Structure 1
Amino acid sequence: MDRRQQLVSELMDLCHEITWLNKPVLEKALSDYTLSEIEMIEHIALIPYANVTKLAAASYMTRGAISKLAKKLIKQELIESYQQAENKKEIYFRLTKAGQEINQIHQELHQTFLERDKTVFQHMTDDEFDTVFRFIGRYRYHLKNITEE
């Protein structure tokens, strides 16, 4: 296996290990919701003027899947749709109070995971962080260009 293959394999394994470790904790704390629902709630909290197109891009899901998920979250009263006065064509989403509470629990879990893993990061130098960020940025840029061709 060449170094490129090894690096990609290690990155994928790391992502799977993190997911495997975090998933039961997330499922226990937010047992009434799927991971897709939790992720969409998080994206709506983070993305200004979140609409179907922006949410689909952020979630790597189709617009149809986002629409279906949004209807489910609206029915559960976790999100609501709205329109802006100057643009009655576009539909946006925002969290309800209940959705904000779910997002808060989720963000607290992220902080718990960061605290659990802090020993990994505490000895990293700024240069090491910058190197990792540059690599990830280049790789994501490359993949984005491929998908847009």
Structure 2
Amino acid sequence: MNCKVTEKIFEVMNMLLEEQKKPREYGGQLLYHSEVVFLDVVHRFPELNVSEMSSLLRITKGAVTQFSVKLSNKELLEIYTKTGNKKEKYFRLTTAGEEVRKEHLSFHENTNRSLCNYLKTLGADETKTIFNFLNHLKDCVPFCEFDCMCSSGNEKGGENENEPNIVEDKQFICNA
């Protein structure tokens, strides 16, 4: 069972990574996760200029400019300057940009509700076990995908001398 848990952890992690790479349709347009995040930041922090957006998002000023131009071309974002300072660029969402943001929030609200409904069915001991496990998992970061070695012999892995040594055989799949 332990190996199945390990496999499931990496399956979920890989699904999350892949999900963020795929564009999703919002308001009739395909948008990547990073583009929707950019729109959300513009909504939440409308007073930020390019440099401040760069710092907040931890991306280059050039990347902020690329995102803003791309989203402006899709008519989801307006780029503007303030009176008296034509150098600093600022952003605001268009009506279509606001709709994309609302649709994205609704999508997450629905998926989060499903998770919350499941968690509500768990008892205090089950919840505590999950919480402790997640804390331990967090403490192990970064880690790499590996062939499970926690078996009692009924699953792959274990301490059978015929089984491969993952360190020697380099059977790791690292995304770190």
Q: Which of the five TM-score ranges fits, normalised by the shorter chain? A: 0.5 to 0.7
Match of 2:67 in 1: 69
**Greater C-alpha Rg:** 2
1:27 has 2:33 as partner:
no
Matched length: 121
Q: Deviations over 1:65-105 (max 9, x none)?
A: 11011111111111002233465442210100010010010
Match of 2:49 in 1: 51
> Helix, strand or coil: the match of 1:32?
strand
Asked whether the equivalents of residues 50 and 88 of structure 2 are also in contact (C-alpha less than 8 Å), the reply is no
Match of 2:110 in 1: 112
* Structure 1 residues 81 and 22: alpha-carbon distance in aligned structure 2, compared to 1, 3 A threshold: closer
1:101 has 2:104 as partner:
no
Give the whole-Å Cα distance in 2 for the aligned partners of 1:58 and 1:16: 26
* Structure 1 residues 56 and 98: alpha-carbon distance in aligned structure 2, compared to 1, 3 A threshold: same
Is the helix fraction higher in 1 or 2? 1
- Identity in percent: 25
* Unmatched tracts of structure 2, length 5 or more: 1-8, 139-176
Give the whole-Å Cα distance in 2 for the aligned partners of 1:100 and 1:34: 16
* Structure 1 residues 51 and 121: alpha-carbon distance in aligned structure 2, compared to 1, 3 A threshold: farther
Give the whole-Å Cα distance in 1 for the aligned partners of 2:71 and 2:49: 14
* Structure 1 residues 87 and 22: alpha-carbon distance in aligned structure 2, compared to 1, 3 A threshold: closer
When the two chains are superposed, the root-mean-square deviation of aligned CA atoms in Å is 3.6
